[in-house]
Amino acid sequence: MDTIFTKIIKGEIPCYKIAEDEHYFAFLDINPLTEGHTLVVPKNPVDYIFDLKDKELSGLFVFAKKIAHAIKEQFPCEKVGMTVIGLEVPHAHIHLVPINSIYDIDFKKEKLKLTPERFQEIARLIASSIK
């Protein structure tokens, strides 16, 4: 069964794509906690992140590391926080969020409302900084 993330990966649902390779896909969260809030997913639609095979899991984190460095370059912050919750969509994913305090990654706080143009600009900035 396809998840919303597999539909995004297949291009059936639009997104603000940051990067992809053969195994992983990164795109902006459309309900961001901060500008630059990005989701990183394996293309393999496994529900629980710790059910990924070791090679897939390590590859996901290496891919996320590249994205995190690009986020930090474009959105100056203390760190890029990472969280894996896994309850909202049954497809393993990592949230990468630019943070300056622990409270910046509180999912109970109000989400940002950004224009499509701003989302496009954020995606372009992050993508242009991936090394």
**Rounded CA separation 1/12 (Å):** 14
- Quickly list DSSP for 34-61: STT-EEEEESS--SSGGGS-HHHHHHHH
- Maximum C-alpha span of the chain: 39
Query: Angle formed by the axes of helices 116-128 and 54-74, to 10°?
Result: 110
Helix ranges restricted to H, 1-131: 4-9, 54-74, 116-128
**Rounded CA separation 27/8 (Å):** 9
Given 37, 91, 93, 95, the catalytic residue: 93
Amino acid at position 53, single letter: K
Is 93 among the catalytic positions? yes
Catalytically annotated residues:
93
